Structure 1
Amino acid sequence: MMWCLMFVFSWTSFMKKHRGNRSSLENQFTVLDKGENSVHRFPVHFVMCFSSQTCAQSLRNSKDEFFMKAFLPNVRLFLHKDSINMSEWNRLSHFNSPFGFMEYKYEDVIPVLKLIPKPKEPLLSPKPGSNGCVRCAVVGTGGILNGSKMGAEIDAHDYVFRMNGAITEGYEEDIGKRTSVYVHSAHSIVKSPVLFKEYGYKSAPHDKGIKYVMMPERLKDIQWLEGLLKGKRVAAGPFRKKTPRLYYSGQYKKTRFYVLHPDFLRYIRNRFLSSPELKTERWPSIRPTNGAFTIFLALHTCDTVDAYGFLTNDFEKYSTYYFQRDTKINFFFHPNHDFLLERDLWIDLHNMKIIRLYQRNDTEKVEQR
């Protein structure tokens, strides 16, 4: 049984009462949203859907007071035709992409969003014999997984999340072979086969029954969505004339396709990953990584979350990607993301026992192979 309500939550008043120095995580929460030329403080709008929980080990039962005050376990995750109207358009137009529709024209966006079917929820269900628990692995592409032999452990989870250039063929011993949920943007699903061709990447994961989750980053993602949902070529933008459904290797189905809601993306940034760069002139381009969005999607759809292949304190030992086996290539810090902030968050969540973060032992020999 599930019931929903919409409410307005202002985090500013909470921060005035609870600001402190407990950890790096504690000082990252804010509700700052920026307009084109100034900083505005908007209350955070969320739709909450409540359902009963049956898993005793669920992260929702955490005793960590600070995390539980920041974490909204039933925040609206997905965008679909029934979740958008003129009122919602006007509200979301206050926020820049991918956190809203500030830069967009109504006529370019709304007709496409009205094509998105209402998704089947929950995204994931407990497996038989799991005592009502959904156990998930989120697998990043970090070089820490090279030689890790974590593949069997990863595949033993109920569900496996991957994102971006998720190459599995030839790397199964380290990163597993199963993919249950694949998170992507139009850019990542189109460019990954080109960028990672030399490492054996051919196409996005396409396991039977896989669920695809799209992160609508820019207008080009809306244009991609139109082609995908209509089963036609993209009509405009940088992916013009491409046929989106070809990139899903026959596994695309409307009933297994989800689009992340801007409210969910903004909630992650505001409450957990508010980078100091958001206070600079570069703020419009700063956002969490697809990997960060994927971890939080898992936190909101799973009971236990194990994260592999994400940045740790000893990241300098490893190449950027696990599939860079032959030559060590130093980690590339993309200017649009605050990787060190994300690293600190994963370690904080690990220490709070919210997630289990895979970290190599200090004594473990690390070498390219």
Structure 2
Amino acid sequence: MVKPTPAITRDGFGTLADGRAVERVTLRGAGGFEARIITYGAALQALFVPDARGAIADIVLGHDDADGYEARRDFYGATIGRFANRIAGAAFTLDGERIALPANDGANTLHGGPGGFDRVLWSVEAIEESDTPAVTLRHVSPDGESGFPGSLDVRVSFRLSAPGELTISYEAVTDRPTVVSLTNHSFFNLDGVAAGGDILDHVLTLAADSFLPTNAEAIPLPGPPRPVAGTPFDFRSGAAVGARIREDDAQLRAGRGYDHNFCLGISAQPRLAARVEATSSGRVMELLTNQPGLQFYSGNFLDGAAPGKYGRLHRQSDAFCLEPQAWPEAPNRGDFPSARLDPGETYRHVSIYRFSTARDGGMRA
């Protein structure tokens, strides 16, 4: 009698330079749908999804072992914190106190600074063997880590919540007032990473009427969000990522493409924020989130400097990111949705990634 494949397995994923072991947890669903999560950076290391013909492929960038993740900080699939995106001047003021942070992006702090959550070895807190298999990872960030006030107790859960559906959820509590914005930084190519193509023909739909224009340092400009209408940032009715990416637009020049926060508004429950369809493979990804912002990044700075999985050198526009999060620079902007967390409150972020295929297969002749 053939034993059924277990829904969850754990194995080693190498060691860090200091000798600590990194684990990998694999969640298996029906039809070849599979997510692999590593404890270093609480990262989504691989995500296998069928295409319109039923062929299975890994659709997220990553590395084959712990060495690759530790040697180069490229955020592949990582959990980002304490604060995703940028904080200008590496500082903010909270309750009248100036909080200084380490700068790691020019004069600014990016993705929690040089010691962000993507550089942390998380612990496996729980594994749930069920029809919806899940793993929960935990990290306790001490008061003052990377300059942020308050001890922050963080949990991130990865669950195969339905056929073809991955839910990533975050919870955090603090013992002092602080700011929090967590996200997952997966780089997606819905045609499959091993295939090696770009994502410029992926058709993107974004449920956002406005976005945050930025300066040359990717810091939001003063003033309100800018309407997407009449700009290359209007994806409300769907457009190929590359359709307007080379237009002579000041915002596209500054970011070498798209690297902007799209404004979704406040919602207690996850709602549809984005849909992406790959015309070659027919894979479709829908993203639902309860976060007020969604950073769309078109892989502008992928430079082929280091190999990833499948021996691929990833270059500009070989993948895209959709990062649900608080608005960048929120700790310094009273006109932005607040990212404050106080003792007695719980930070909750839920993002759902639903995969399907285009009705007609979306295949090219």
Length-normalised TM-score, structure 2: 0.26
Structure ranking higher in helix proportion: 1
Q: Which structure is richer in relative contact order (CA contacts within 8 A, separation 6 or more)? A: 1
Structure ranking higher in strand proportion: 2
Length-normalised TM-score, structure 1: 0.26
